[in-house]
Structure 1
Amino acid sequence: MTAPTGPPGEAGNVCVIGGGLAGIAAAIRLADLHLRVTLLESRPELGGATYSFRRDGLTVDTGQHVFLRCYEAYRGLLDRLGSTAGTQVQPRFAVPVLLPGRPPHLLARRRLPAPAHLLPALAGYRLLAPAQRLAAVRAAAALRHVDPDLPETDARSFGDWLADHGQDARAVRRLWDLVTVAALNLPSAQASLALAARVFRTGLLEAADAGDIGRPLVPLVDLHAVPARRLLDRLGVRVRTRARVRWIRPEPAGFRVGTDDGEVDADAVVLAVPHQAAAALVPPAAAPAAGDWRRLGAAPIVNVHLRYARRITGLTMAAAVASPAQWIFTRPEPDGQYVVVSLSAADAELERPTAELVATQRAALAALFPAARHAAVRDAFVTREPRATFRQTPGTRAYRPATATGLPGLVLAGAWTDTGWPDTMEGAVRSGQQAADVVARQLASRPRHHTEAAR
């Protein structure tokens, strides 16, 4: 992601709509290519879905975002933003798995080449019976040969594939869904086999260190939004926040973009917004099948935040099975411990009252951590993300559009586009960079008088 050298380009100017990770990545890449860039974001700050807010002196992330060592594009973006020091990556994959009434079981890779690095972890996974562990080893070996790019793979559910490979309901709940629910925001029974295969192959099976987990040490606003604004300003990108786009109109020499407070002329447009918003903004000539994007749907994530008056666990991260809790993240506070329970595939929890969700998770944590049984909670609240990801079910790839549209100069970006990856931060960054590259090629191929007339 190093900026190229040479004289400024003459291809024109680009309007990037959306200031999430895809839009940020696109704007940086375009500026590196010496194009003039205007970035429009409807929210007060950049960051998109990875944003933070203040509550009683605490900076709160709406969701607990983690990443893997194999997220090369995302980690490259952090390097470019200068915020890598605000994260921490495990030296090796290790997840404490909690079952009520049992001590934590550490599911960890060994320092062996892939795929042998996970064999001892599966063979010694105490939350499954010996026969189930052996079946899991066989299924993991078979999953390495599933091609995630084949249409027939996407047409099938991961749950059906697991059943055909000897995985019973207990093994799915206690092993496979630990990863599937967190990574795809759906249980294995509902998830696309293609996307599950991408997660397991790329993240866990093909390289020994690929699945090592990284997590932010600072609020997401300080990891993404603040350094992105600083870098974009330095690169000469014009950033406008609180600028909601209402329409995009093709013009003879480019595009015109309408906002609540004016219009922007551009030679090209990168539309980097969620698929629901993109379907409403894209001109019909650009994507006649944009109505199909709505069929991607949405899957929610709910986070329950608890501020205990004292420490309840020494773990900073854990996964729970046979419990209302799923993934648990903690950080110390001067007078206690801040605990977030992240609930993916949270359709049932989305509409539940806050008091009920808090009570359920307090009881769940008390069953997992004895110290929580008598610990006072100073504050408790819930954040809800109704459209955290698209619904990554079998057959969804048919509705994920390519980067280019039917109108040269108008391209799409976002983790929902056809990146081949699940709806993740990595997919978002990859899509933004690819969109910038496509725009640059399209502008370079235009006759020079065309772009001059657009100015």
Structure 2
Amino acid sequence: MTHGSTTRPEGALAGLSDRPAKHAVVIGGGLAGVTAALTLADAGVRVTLLEGRPRLGGLAFSFRRGDLTVDNGQHVYLRCCTAYRWFLDRIEGSALAPVQERLDVPVVDLGKPAGRRLGRIRRDALPVPLHLGRSLATYPHLSLADRAGAGRAALALKGLDLADPALDDQDFGSWLAAHGQSARAVEALWDLVGVATLNAVAGDSSLKLAAMVFKTGLLSDPGAADIGWAHVPLGELHDRLARKALDSAGVRTEVRTRVTSVRHHENGGWSVQVPGETLDADAVVLAVPQREAHALLPDGALDDPGRLLQIGTAPILNVHVIYDRKVLNAPFLTALGSPLQWVFDRTDASGLRDGQYLAVSQSAAQDEIDAPVAELRTRYLPELERLLPRARGAEVKDFFVTRERTATFAPAPGVGRLRPGARTKAPGLYLAGAWTATGWPATMESAVRSGVGAAGAALGALGRSRHVLPDFFEEAA
């Protein structure tokens, strides 16, 4: 392992029990766990980070395929994602995942009898909501009536109170219908954004989460929805640079180390069991998926731990295609009237020298997540040819699929009451993960916020100053 992070030798975590002072164990090396570990270490706590996989990064990672470095799926963030941007700064990776200068999303409609038609969702340098006025007024994929209706719905959405718990029990699709949104408006505007951020169509999404996405991303600040994405493999950020930052902060990182139990002592301390070794800790952060957290929680840690198992999951399918030539001139585009959703150019990031590598990100992919590769190839290659005329004469050098069957928690109505906060009823035990009660959907932003929240709660209990907590923490608290 590099940068001082180690793979645990069989039967030993040498020296971990010999160091003095407060000790926190963070279980899980995704964004939530890495963030919690960094925040605790920055406050002077001795930290051990345990990860069962051979790498950090959770579900936002890279792997090798031949000569290429491939992301398991395309991940983006928005300028309003202040926590993830803080994380990038903390690991010195901001320059590797820049935000576009101004929101600009090309949208191609393949469903019209006249054929392929290009439209754009982009902003002007005007205050909210005028920043999107011209784009909406000229958006060719909606009728004049739908454009006017979308503007009225956006203003109604802006007026919703996110603190109202009743919003969580309603579904976004019904709210849109009640506010005059046609099926076409939902497809060409609301789901275009919502499916990518919520991993669910409007009818399957909590109104509270959907309202949070649109109010924060499109209706809070003119530049809030500007899109950022990694121009390098995700592993460069979430694994290599994250390990480097952890090592510099003094965190002991152990990969290939799966925790088998977490136990609370009568003296208030904790024992974390891994194969062949027991770690003693003053605080433990469980930064693992909800089902894994449920399995590790000691009795009495939550009033109703069964609620964790009621939080559903939603899949994301990623289709990867390598052509022998360039077929897409834009960094990304989206499609209507087609199974295709978002298509990204990952050529430079992957290290491909000849041709072009496209990654197709398919959210809310319940109907396709288990489809055979041959079936997906038959379905998606013709659609890419419809979307990208230059692909019609190009040779497909490689076609493969990555599947995340439990990519996110399902943002269904009522999910808000199931998501726990950082604190448990067991003193010294905290929860982190995008699925916890951050107020955000299952995004990288939510994961980072949860990690900072769990660390902040732990610092108070450990008697350490919380001055290291970033500015956005009070917003999330």
**Do the two structures share a fold, i.e. TM-score over 0.5?**
yes
Q: Unmatched 5+ residue regions in structure 2?
A: 1-19, 465-477
Give 1:195-274 correspondences, 5 Å limit. 195-253=209-267, 254-274=269-289
User: Separation in 1 of the partners of 2:353 and 2:238?
Assistant: 26
Shift of 1:148: 2.2
Amino acid at match of 1:198: M
The corresponding residue for 1:139 is 153
CA contact (8 A) 1:157 1:189 kept: yes
User: Separation in 2 of the partners of 1:11 and 1:26?
Assistant: 18
Amino acid at match of 1:164: A
The corresponding residue for 1:118 is 132
Residues 75-133 of structure 1: CA distance to partner in whole angstroms, max 9, x if unpaired?
11111101111112111111000112223212111110111101111121100111111
CA contact (8 A) 1:302 1:344 kept: yes
CA contact (8 A) 1:73 1:429 kept: yes
User: Separation in 2 of the partners of 1:81 and 1:261?
Assistant: 32
CA contact (8 A) 1:11 1:444 kept: no
| Equivalent residue in structure 1 for 2:357, among 338, 344, 352 | 338
User: Separation in 2 of the partners of 1:257 and 1:11?
Assistant: 17
Amino acid at match of 1:242: R
SS at match of 2:361: strand
The corresponding residue for 2:327 is 312
User: Separation in 2 of the partners of 1:148 and 1:289?
Assistant: 25
Question: Is 1:50 aligned with 2:65?
Answer: no
Residues 162-200 of structure 1: CA distance to partner in whole angstroms, max 9, x if unpaired?
001100111101111001100000000110100001100
Amino acid at match of 2:314: A
User: Separation in 2 of the partners of 1:182 and 1:231?
Assistant: 30
| Equivalent residue in structure 1 for 2:338, among 320, 323, 327 | 323
Residues 283-319 of structure 1: CA distance to partner in whole angstroms, max 9, x if unpaired?
1211141111111111000000000011112011111
Q: Unmatched 5+ residue regions in structure 1?
A: 1-9, 446-455
Question: Is 1:410 aligned with 2:429?
Answer: yes
SS at match of 2:271: strand
The corresponding residue for 1:375 is 394
Question: Is 1:443 aligned with 2:462?
Answer: yes
Amino acid at match of 1:145: G
Shift of 1:337: 0.6
Structure 2 length-normalised TM: 0.90
Give the count of matched residue pairs: 437
Q: Which moved more, 1:270-279 or 1:350-359?
A: 350-359
SS at match of 1:382: strand
The corresponding residue for 2:123 is 109
SS at match of 1:350: coil
Shift of 1:252: 2.0
| Equivalent residue in structure 2 for 1:22, among 28, 32, 35 | 32
Amino acid at match of 1:193: L
The corresponding residue for 1:7 is none
| Equivalent residue in structure 2 for 1:357, among 367, 376, 383 | 376
Which of structure 1's runs of 4+ aligned residues deviate more than 3 A?
Answer: none
User: Separation in 1 of the partners of 2:109 and 2:380?
Assistant: 14
SS at match of 1:265: strand
Structure 1 length-normalised TM: 0.94
SS at match of 1:392: coil
User: Separation in 1 of the partners of 2:125 and 2:455?
Assistant: 38
Q: Which moved more, 1:391-400 or 1:225-234?
A: 225-234
SS at match of 1:15: strand
User: Separation in 1 of the partners of 2:93 and 2:276?
Assistant: 33
The corresponding residue for 1:95 is 105
CA contact (8 A) 1:148 1:193 kept: no
The corresponding residue for 1:6 is none
Amino acid at match of 1:84: S
| Equivalent residue in structure 1 for 2:204, among 166, 179, 190 | 190
SS at match of 1:347: coil
Shift of 1:230: 0.9
Sequence identity percentage: 51
